Each structure stands twice: as C-alpha cells, then as structure tokens.
C-alpha cells in the first residue's frame, strides 16, 4: 500500500485541503480506526492522465495517515464493462507505483448485500417499483426550473413493491419495463434527489457475475454502500459529484450499513493540447487518428508509459500541482518539466544522430579506431562510464552545420573548430555537394593533441557536438512526437467554432525517422528503457523494438535555447 514516493514532497504541499480536513478530524477524535480511501474506476475504458490525480491522491493520503487505499471496480453496468479494462487498469495502477495489497474489490462482490438494503428501503417505505418506461420517466422529471411530478406508481404498497422487486430480480420482466426508485422528493431543486432510480433491469452477461443477476444497482446506490461495506472513511471524488452528496448521505443514512463514510470532492485536472474524456479518446482510436489506446500521443497511462514517461514523474507532477476544489487546466510544459526532472536524474546519456550528415576526418587513416571514455550520467557519478568508438568517417546532425552561420549560431561552419563530445576538437576544412547543391559530406581534420576534448593550449571552442562513428553505429528508427492537437483547448475551440475536433489534430504529431544512427552501446537496449540522446531529448525503447531493428520513441525534448531563439526571430 505504500507508494515509492518521496515523503519530502507531500501531495499538494501544506495547503492540500483534504489533508487539513483529515488532520482536523483526527484532532477532534472522529476516527477510531484507520483512514481508508479508495480508487473506484469503472472498467469501461483505459485510465488517463486525469485519473492519475485521484489515484495519487487516494493512495498518498492513505499512506500519509498510516491507513490503506482500496482498489474497487465500480462494475455495475455490464453493458459497457469488460475484463479487458479490468486488466489494463490493474496494470496501470501498479505501474504508477501503488499497491492495494489485499484490498482489491468489485462492487459486484457486494451485489447480494446491496440487494438486501434495497429490500430494506422498500420495507421502510423509502423505495418503490416504478413501471414508467425510459420514455415516460422524463415526462415526470420536471426541468431545471420546474419541479417534477410523482410517478403514478409511487404509492404502491410495501407488499406489492417487494413482490415486484423480487420478480424483477427473478427475471420476470424485460429490460426497461420497471425500475426500483428511491422515494425522496420530486420537487427537490437538486435533480438527483427527484426519486432517483436505484435498480434497473439489465439482461446482459456480467464479466464477473455472469448471468446471476437481472437487476443492477445504479452508481448512486452502489457507491456509498460499497464504501460503507469496505469501511472507507474518505470517499474522495471529483467535483461533478458534489450534487450527488445529498443522495450519498441519504443512502448510508437509510440503510443499515456497518460504517459511515463521507464524500469529499476536489476539482478535476485538465491538460492543454489534449482531450481527456473516454468518449473522445475512444473516437480518436476508432477513427484511426492514432494507432491505438497506447499510441504514444495519447494521454492514457498505457500510452505515456510506452512513450517513456517514468511513473515517478506522474506522481511528482500531481504532488506539485496540488489540490483544491476548483477544476484546473495545467499547461503541458508543467508536465514536461516533471518528466525532464525525473529523467535527468535517472536516464543514461548516449549519442544518436537522427538526421545524419557524413563527416570525413581527413587526417585519420581508414581502418583506424580510437576509443574514448564517455560519462553515462553527469547527474549520477555512480552510473559510471562507457567506451565510444571513433573513426575516419562519422555522422553528425545535419542541423549542426551551416555554411553561412548567422550570429549566435555556435555550431560547425567552414573553417570553424568545435568539440566532438568526449572525443576531440575538429575543424571544418571543406564542404562537398551534389549536383543539386545539397551538402553530402563535410571534410574535417582533428587535433590529436585534444584527445578527450580539451586543448592543451587552453583554447576554447564555442560548442560541443554529438556524433557517431559510421562504421560502428547501429541503424535505428526514431519516432518524434509532438502534441496530438495544434491548439491548447481543442474541445473548447471545436465547440466555439462549430468545427470538428479532428480538424485541430497536429499533422506533425508523429514523425518517423528511419535513417538514424545510434552508438553501439545501444545494441541490446530493452523495450521500456529510457535514455537521453545527448543534446536531443529523452527517448525510450518501444515495445516493437528488436535487436537489429531498434525503435525509439521521443518522450520529451531537452530544453533548447537555440530552438527558442530561432522561433523568436521567425516571428
């Protein structure tokens, strides 16, 4: 149940109102037992970045107070749920670094007791069987401004209600024919209190209970009661459920439950340049805008895992962003910061050339190989060093040479001397072009006195370039990712302008480069492992990668001052 987390980085800092609430309760002696929270997903889709907030919050609060956090599937709607999602959700929560221990539950485990409480409500005259069809019911519900009218079936006797409800369970009626409803107040200004449906008839096989049930409890009934059964003390949920709290309380107050949970709501988290609703994400998959739920451009947890985002970055992101009652939209760079921060600490450095330009070292004989020692991670001395081979023909990044360099361009140019990272200083002596004028090769000389990269005479160079040895490098495919959408808030723009969401997709969200070269130490890089390609960014080995056919995904770029300069001058 304890998360691998840094306790010096508490969730939301001292201002987290949920922590203050719990501390206050404990100070007031309101808890005799442990603090118990829960994360309650419905297994009808994949978890995304928006879910990481309640996951982190629930597990972290339980940990901070020495309690426990349950993982409970709210599987009360067999029409939309599936084991496929159960398995994926389990894997995602585990990946995020949280452990529910023995406390894995399903609302469907509680169906029998829930049913018993429904009969209890009938016995108390607090629930009735309603014969209104799904078409008719809205006619009685009123509207935002007008009160509803009581169902004509509202005053049935307890005996008749009980008989009908038992026959509903026995499968005597067709789906939609009848419902069990709470008897509360059809005139309530709170819509959810207007005799809400508690049970409906569904004849579909449930992924866990099979065909045992013909009636299924609604969320508003199953959720508070499941919390009570499990001894949940703090039912933390997002703000759209604020209106449901009176019904939550009504339910636990009127059923003979073993404990008294309380619901507390916090604001939802959104991110710029993406969408975060299951419906929209599903559309992106189904319409082929992405290759699947784990396409690295998606905001799903499985996708960012594939992209190379470490789980600690997600936990820290949520801790740092904090928690209030308001819905928030975080700017994407804030997430990228958390990702870089974590990867900077942990990712081994390596050299890779994504857009190769051939360089011939004229004063180094063919067939000669020099070995240079490279630091694996300057942030982590314990990561050690490795050897990188150097020879007459190299590749450097095409962007790292300009025949006619502008001011503030520090990289290679005719006649200029730069350092090749970990290797030596080289000077550009010539440029070879093809018939169309495209540069095909650079001629350089190296200074053997600068082995390792420093000049004994103390002369400085303006920049350091990454490189690979052409004869030793390994070919690789590299997938470069940008935001899926071109605009900060695609949903809002689509609605405001009446344009389809798809028109805001970023055509450059994925660019595949197949002629990249990586240093030989990467030969056996395993899927999932993360590296910093020096000067370029962080890259993770894709699950599709194989020895001999390496595939890397760009997780996030490095901060790039030169790119920023260029962007600014382009405006």
Partner RNA sequence: UGGGGCGUCGUCUAAUGGUAGGACAGCGGCCUUUGGAGCCGUUCGUGGAGGUUCGAAUCCUCCCGCCCCAGCCA
Catalytic positions: 42, 268, 278
Binding residue (CB under 7 A) for RNA from 209, 264, 324, 346 = 324
Q: What angle do CA 536, 292, 298 make, to 5 degrees?
A: 50
Q: Is 141 in the site for RNA (CB under 7 A)?
A: yes
Residues 517, 485 contacting (CB under 8 angstroms): no
- Subset of 3-32 contacting RNA (CB under 7 A): 12-17, 20
Query: What does the alpha-carbon distance between residue 490 and residue 51 come to, in Å, rounded to a whole number?
Result: 20
Which CB sits closer to RNA, 42 or 163? 42
Query: What does the alpha-carbon distance between residue 42 and residue 54 come to, in Å, rounded to a whole number?
Result: 13
Q: Minimum distance from CB of 76 to RNA (Å)?
A: 4
Stretch that binds RNA, among 46-54, 88-96, 341-349, 542-550 (CB under 7 A): 341-349
Q: Minimum distance from CB of 35 to RNA (Å)?
A: 19
Which CB sits closer to RNA, 218 or 290? 218
SS3 (DSSP) at 432: strand
Residues 48, 300 contacting (CB under 8 angstroms): yes
Stretch that binds RNA, among 154-162, 328-336, 428-436, 474-482 (CB under 7 A): 328-336
Which CB sits closer to RNA, 104 or 549? 104
Q: Is 370 in the site for RNA (CB under 7 A)?
A: no
In 300-415, DSSP assigns E strands to 328-330, 349-350, 352-353, 356-361, 369-375, 385-391, 393-397
Binding residue (CB under 7 A) for RNA from 53, 70, 156, 340 = 340
Query: What does the alpha-carbon distance between residue 39 and residue 68 come to, in Å, rounded to a whole number?
Result: 11
Nearest in space to 256 (alpha carbons), one of 119, 71, 56: 119
Query: What does the alpha-carbon distance between residue 337 and residue 114 come to, in Å, rounded to a whole number?
Result: 46
Binding residue (CB under 7 A) for RNA from 158, 212, 497, 559 = 559
- Subset of 490-529 contacting RNA (CB under 7 A): none
- Subset of 160-199 contacting RNA (CB under 7 A): 175-179, 189-192, 196-197
Bridge partner list, 127 = 182
Binding residue (CB under 7 A) for RNA from 561, 569, 570, 571 = 561
Q: Is 239 in the site for RNA (CB under 7 A)?
A: yes
Query: What tokens appear for 475 in the block?
Result: 């070919």
Q: Is 137 in the site for RNA (CB under 7 A)?
A: yes
Q: Minimum distance from CB of 472 to RNA (Å)?
A: 18
SS3 (DSSP) at 251: helix
User: Could you please report the per-residue DSSP string of 171-199?
Assistant: T-S-TTS-EEEE-S-TT-SSGGGSS-EEE
Q: Is 40 in the site for RNA (CB under 7 A)?
A: yes
66: left (phi over 0), alpha (psi -120 to 50) or beta: left
Binding residue (CB under 7 A) for RNA from 38, 53, 63, 200 = 200
- Subset of 478-497 contacting RNA (CB under 7 A): none
Binding residue (CB under 7 A) for RNA from 123, 152, 333, 547 = 333
Residues 258, 60 contacting (CB under 8 angstroms): no
SS3 (DSSP) at 68: strand
Binding residue (CB under 7 A) for RNA from 42, 99, 163, 185 = 42
H-helix segments, 231-331: 245-254, 278-286, 301-307, 311-321
SS3 (DSSP) at 226: helix
- Subset of 246-275 contacting RNA (CB under 7 A): 267
Q: Is 547 in the site for RNA (CB under 7 A)?
A: no
- Subset of 219-238 contacting RNA (CB under 7 A): 219-220, 222-223
- Tokens 């406390």 belong to which residue? 103
Which CB sits closer to RNA, 532 or 545? 532
Query: What does the alpha-carbon distance between residue 297 and residue 289 come to, in Å, rounded to a whole number?
Result: 10
Q: Minimum distance from CB of 132 to RNA (Å)?
A: 5
- Tokens 């990269």 belong to which residue? 453
The site that binds RNA (CB under 7 A) totals a number of residues, namely: 97
Q: Minimum distance from CB of 549 to RNA (Å)?
A: 26
Q: Is 467 in the site for RNA (CB under 7 A)?
A: no
Stretch that binds RNA, among 84-92, 240-248, 290-298, 427-435 (CB under 7 A): 240-248
Which CB sits closer to RNA, 192 or 487? 192
Query: What does the alpha-carbon distance between residue 301 and residue 310 come to, in Å, rounded to a whole number?
Result: 10
- Subset of 44-83 contacting RNA (CB under 7 A): 74, 76-77, 79-80
Q: Is 325 in the site for RNA (CB under 7 A)?
A: yes
* DSSP assignment letter at 97: T
Residues in the chain: 571
Q: Is 542 in the site for RNA (CB under 7 A)?
A: no
Q: Is 280 in the site for RNA (CB under 7 A)?
A: no
Q: Minimum distance from CB of 482 to RNA (Å)?
A: 15
Residues 6+ apart with CB under 8 A from 373: 385, 386, 387, 388, 422, 452
- Subset of 403-462 contacting RNA (CB under 7 A): 408-411, 419, 421-422, 452-454
Q: Is 383 in the site for RNA (CB under 7 A)?
A: no
């Amino acid at each position: 149940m304890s998360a691998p987390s840094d306790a010096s980085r508490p969730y939301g800092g001292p201002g987290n109102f949920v922590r203050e609430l719990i501390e206050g309760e404990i100070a007031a002696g309101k808890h005799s037992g442990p603090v118990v929270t829960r994360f309650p997903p419905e297994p009808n889709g994949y978890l995304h970045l928006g879910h990481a907030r309640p996951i982190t919050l629930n597990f972290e609060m339980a940990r901070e107070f020495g309690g426990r956090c349950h993982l409970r599937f709210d599987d009360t709607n067999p029409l939309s749920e599936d084991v496929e999602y159960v398995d994926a959700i389990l894997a995602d929560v585990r990946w995020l670094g949280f452990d529910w221990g023995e406390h894995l539950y399903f609302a469907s485990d509680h169906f029998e007791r829930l049913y018993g409480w429904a009969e209890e409500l009938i016995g108390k005259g607090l629930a009735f069987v309603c014969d209104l069809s799904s078409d008719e019911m809205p006619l009685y519900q009123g509207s935002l401004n007008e009160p509803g009218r009581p169902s004509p079936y509202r005053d049935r006797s307890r005996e008749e209600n009980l008989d009908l409800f038992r026959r509903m369970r026995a499968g005597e009626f067709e789906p939609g024919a009848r419902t069990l409803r709470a008897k509360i107040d059809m005139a309530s200004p709170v819509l959810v209190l207007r005799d809400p449906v508690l049970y409906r008839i569904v004849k579909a096989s449930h992924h866990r209970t099979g065909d045992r049930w013909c009636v299924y409890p609604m969320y508003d009934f199953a959720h508070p009661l499941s919390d009570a059964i499990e001894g949940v003390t703090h039912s933390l949920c997002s703000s759209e459920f604020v209106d449901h709290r009176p019904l939550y309380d009504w339910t636990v107050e009127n059923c003979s439950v073993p404990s008294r949970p309380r619901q507390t709501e916090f604001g939802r988290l959104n991110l710029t340049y993406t969408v975060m609703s299951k419906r929209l994400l599903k559309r992106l998959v189904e319409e082929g805008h992405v290759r699947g739920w784990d396409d690295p451009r998606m905001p799903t947890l499985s996708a960012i895992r594939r992209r190379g985002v470490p789980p600690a970055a997600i936990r820290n992101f949520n801790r740092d962003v904090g928690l209030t009652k308001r819905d928030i939209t975080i700017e994407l760079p804030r997430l990228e910061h958390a990702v870089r921060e974590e990867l900077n600490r942990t990712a081994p450095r390596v050299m890779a050339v994504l857009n190769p330009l051939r360089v011939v070292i004229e004063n180094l004989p063919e067939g000669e190989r020099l070995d240079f020692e490279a630091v694996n991670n300057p942030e982590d001395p314990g990561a050690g060093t490795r050897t990188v081979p150097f020879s007459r023909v190299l590749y450097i990044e095409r962007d790292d040479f300009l025949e006619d360099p502008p001011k503030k361009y520090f990289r290679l140019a005719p006649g200029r001397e730069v350092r090749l990272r970990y290797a030596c200083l080289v000077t550009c002596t010539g440029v070879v072009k093809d018939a169309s004028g495209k540069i095909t090769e650079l001629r350089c000389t190296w200074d053997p006195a600068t082995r390792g990269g420093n000049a004994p005479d103390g002369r400085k160079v303006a920049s350091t370039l990454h490189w690979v040895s052409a004869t030793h490098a390994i070919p690789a495919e590299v997938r470069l990712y940008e935001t899926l959408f071109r605009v900060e808030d695609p949903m809002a723009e689509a609605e405001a302008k009446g344009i389809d969401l798809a028109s805001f997709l970023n055509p450059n969200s994925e660019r595949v480069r197949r002629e990249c070269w990586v240093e030989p130490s990467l030969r056996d890089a395993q899927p999932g492992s993360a590296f910093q390609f020096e000067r370029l960014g962080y890259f993770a080995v894709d699950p599709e990668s194989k020895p001999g056919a390496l595939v890397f995904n760009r997780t996030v770029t490095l901060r790039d001052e030169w790119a920023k300069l260029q962007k600014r001058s382009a405006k």
